[in-house]
Structure 1
C-alpha cells in the first residue's frame, strides 16, 4: 500500500490539509496533473502537498479553493498548517499573537517578525541555517496575517536605532524593509517608534521583550533566548516589563519623528532617492 493511501489526517494539520485536498480533488474527478493544469501548478507539487511532503502557500490554497469549490476551506486551514510548522517552543507565542488585542514589543537590534519583509526574513532565518529556507520564511510571514484581520490587534513596536543600520541582507533588502515600516505611517493600529542612540542608558538594556494583552485572559510578557522562549503570566513580571515599556516609549522618538528618521536612513544610507521610481 502506498503512502498516499495511508496518510493519517489526524497526524498533523499538514496531513489533514493534504487529506482534504485529495478528497476534494477526487470528488471532482481530477487527477493530480489535471488539477495542476487548472491552477497553473505542476501535478507533482499537488502530489507532494497531498502527501504532506510540501507546505502549501496562500496562493495555492486560494486557487484550489476556487477550482474545486471548497468554500474557502483550504485557505482557512492554511494558518493552522503554517503555525504548526513553527519551532515547538514558538508555537505558543504565535497563538498569543493571534489572540492578543494589543501587542507591545521592544526589539534591541532587529525588526520584529510581524513587520519583516520576505527578503529580510530570509536573511535573518538563513544566517546560520539555510535548510528548508523557503518553507521557514513562508511560515514566518504567515504570522503577519493577524495584521490583516477584520479587527486586527493594536501593535506598538519600539526598536533600537541600531536596527536601522545593521545591514541584514544588504542595502536593497534594507531599503525594502525600511519602506515596509514606513508603509504603516497612516495605520493607527501599527505604531513604530525608534529608540535613538542618544537616549543613553534606558529601561530596555536587559534585552528585548513583548507584552501581550487580551480581551479577557491575563496579560503575558514574553522574552526569548537562543532556541527558547519564555512566556509568563506572572503579574509581578508583567508589571515590571509594562513599566519598562512606558519608560522606553517616553525615551523613544515620537511616531512622526521615528518615521522621518527611518525615511532619512533609507535615503541616505541605502541609496533611496525621493521622486525616483
Structure 2
C-alpha cells in the first residue's frame, strides 16, 4: 500500500495549500497525473506540491483554479504561501511594504528588489540560498505585484552608480536588468535616479535604507544587516533620514539623465560587443 503523507493544514500556508490541493483534486475525482495533464505539468509536480516538497508558483495556482473551478481559491492563497518563503526576519517588512502608499529607497550596491528581473534575483539569492533559489525568486516576484495594482504605491529609487557596474549573474543578465529599469521611464508611479560617482561623499554612505509612508499610519524607516532587518517609527529617525533622502534626490541625476546613463552603460558595458571585448582592427 502506498503511504500518503498526512499534512497539518494549520502548520503553515504551504501545508494548507498542499492539503487543500489534494482535497479538491480528490473531490473532483482526478489523479495527480490527470490534474497535471489538465494544467500542463507532470503528476509528479502535483504530488510534490501536495506534500510541500515544492512551492507552487502563481501560474500553477491560477491553472489549478481554472481546472478545478475553485473560484480563485488557490490564486488568493498562493500569495500567503510565497510570502512565507521570505526569510523570517524580512517578512514583517514585506507586509508593511505591501501596505505602503509611498516608498522611497536608497540602494548603494544593488538594484532594488521591486525592480529586479527573475534572472538578476536568482543570481543574488543563489549566493545565500542555493537550495531555495526557485522559491525565493518566486517570493520576490510576488512582492513586485504591488506595482501592478490599480492604485500602486508611489516608488522613488535613488541608486548608486555602482549598482549599474557590479556584475550580477553575467553580462546578459545585467543587460536584461538595465533594460528592465528603462521600462519604468514612462511609469508615473516609479521614479529612478542614479547617484553618480562624481558626487563624492553623500548622505547615503552609511548604507541602503528605505522609508515607507502610509495613508493613515506613522512613517517607517527600514534598514538591514546581513541576517536581520531593523524597522522603526521613531520620529527623530524619520526626520533625519527624510532630510538625508531629500539631499540624495537633489544630488542625484534627474530621472531623464539617469535613464540616459543606464542606457549608455547597458550598451557600452553589457551590449553585444563591449569595448573591452571588441576585436582589434589592423
**TM-score category by the smaller chain?**
over 0.9
Once the two structures are TM-superposed, the CA of residue 111 in structure 1 deviates from its matched residue by 0.3
Alignment pair present for 1:179 and 2:179: yes
Note if contact 1:101-1:154 (Cα within 8 Å) is conserved in structure 2.
yes
Aligned to 2:6: 6
1:48-63 to 2 correspondences below 5 Å: 48-63=48-63
Once the two structures are TM-superposed, the CA of residue 129 in structure 1 deviates from its matched residue by 4.2
Aligned to 1:124: 124
Once the two structures are TM-superposed, the CA of residue 156 in structure 1 deviates from its matched residue by 0.5
Cα distance in 2 for partners of 1:199, 1:4 equals: 62
Q: How many corresponding residue pairs?
A: 273
Once the two structures are TM-superposed, the CA of residue 2 in structure 1 deviates from its matched residue by 8.0
Cα distance in 1 for partners of 2:14, 2:4 equals: 14
Cα distance in 2 for partners of 1:63, 1:129 equals: 28
Alignment pair present for 1:201 and 2:236: no
Q: Secondary structure at the match of 2:98?
A: helix
1:19-58 to 2 correspondences below 5 Å: 19-58=19-58
Distance 1:8 1:73, change over 3 A: same
Once the two structures are TM-superposed, the CA of residue 6 in structure 1 deviates from its matched residue by 2.8
TM-score computed with the length of structure 2 as normaliser: 0.93
Cα distance in 1 for partners of 2:4, 2:238 equals: 48
Cα distance in 1 for partners of 2:85, 2:2 equals: 25
Aligned to 1:260: 260
Cα distance in 2 for partners of 1:140, 1:214 equals: 22
Q: CA RMSD in A?
A: 1.5
Moved more, 46-55 or 2-11: 2-11
TM-score computed with the length of structure 1 as normaliser: 0.95
What 5-or-longer segments of structure 2 have no aligned partner?
A: 274-282
What 5-or-longer segments of structure 1 have no aligned partner?
A: none
Note if contact 2:104-2:157 (Cα within 8 Å) is conserved in structure 1.
yes
Note if contact 2:5-2:51 (Cα within 8 Å) is conserved in structure 1.
no
Once the two structures are TM-superposed, the CA of residue 198 in structure 1 deviates from its matched residue by 1.1
| Deviation per residue, 1:112-135 (Å, 9 max, x gap) | 111111111111112244122222
Once the two structures are TM-superposed, the CA of residue 81 in structure 1 deviates from its matched residue by 0.6
Note if contact 1:117-1:177 (Cα within 8 Å) is conserved in structure 2.
yes
Distance 1:235 1:59, change over 3 A: same
Cα distance in 2 for partners of 1:129, 1:214 equals: 32
